[in-house]
Amino acid sequence: MISDFAPARLSRFAFAALCVGALAACSGAPNTGGALAPGLVAQIASPGAQMDRQAALGIINQYRATRGVAPLAADAALDAQAQAIAAQYASSGNPPAMPAGAAAMRLSAGYTNFAETFSGWRNSPADANVLAQSDARRAGFAAVYDPNSAYGTHWVMLLGR
């Protein structure tokens, strides 16, 4: 016999569950069952490993949409610049200066995949504001692994106007 059964409590729970389900159905996002895209969880902790820039741009743009900001476009020139900066960052261990003309730059080191990197940025108020920077229109991404670095993988995101 269940002595703590409370129909009112159950009704509140059922209503809350219904609301969550309805909101999820209306979000317009594809139902992935909670799984992240493979490119977001791909391990970049080996020499020569390449990040999935399209997956990175996709999750950044999903985040920007939640903040009411226009999506970013991929930019091959920013990707190349981010790659050079990430290589310098990985080899020196010193955070590089933001390049002239960039709207913003985010750095990270030590995370082995982009999902972790993104979560770190999203959970930092200063970084989250940069992710949602409204004057940014283009983005470039890079990750470089250096086995001799204390942090292993070094990440760079450049935003351009």
Prediction pTM value: 0.75
Give residue limits of the domains in the chain: 52-160
pLDDT bucket at 97, cuts 50 / 70 / 90? very high
Its CATH class, for the domain covering 52-160, is: alpha beta
80 sits in which H/E element: helix 76-92
**Residue for token pair 């999750």:** 59
Report whether 54 contacts 74 (CB < 8 A): yes
> For 92-152, where are the E strands, in sequence order?
104-109, 138-145
As a whole number of angstroms, the distance between CA 35 and CA 57 comes to 17
| Res 39 pLDDT > 80 | no
| Res 6 pLDDT > 50 | no
pLDDT bucket at 34, cuts 50 / 70 / 90? low
In whole numbers, what is the pLDDT of the chain averaged over residues? 82
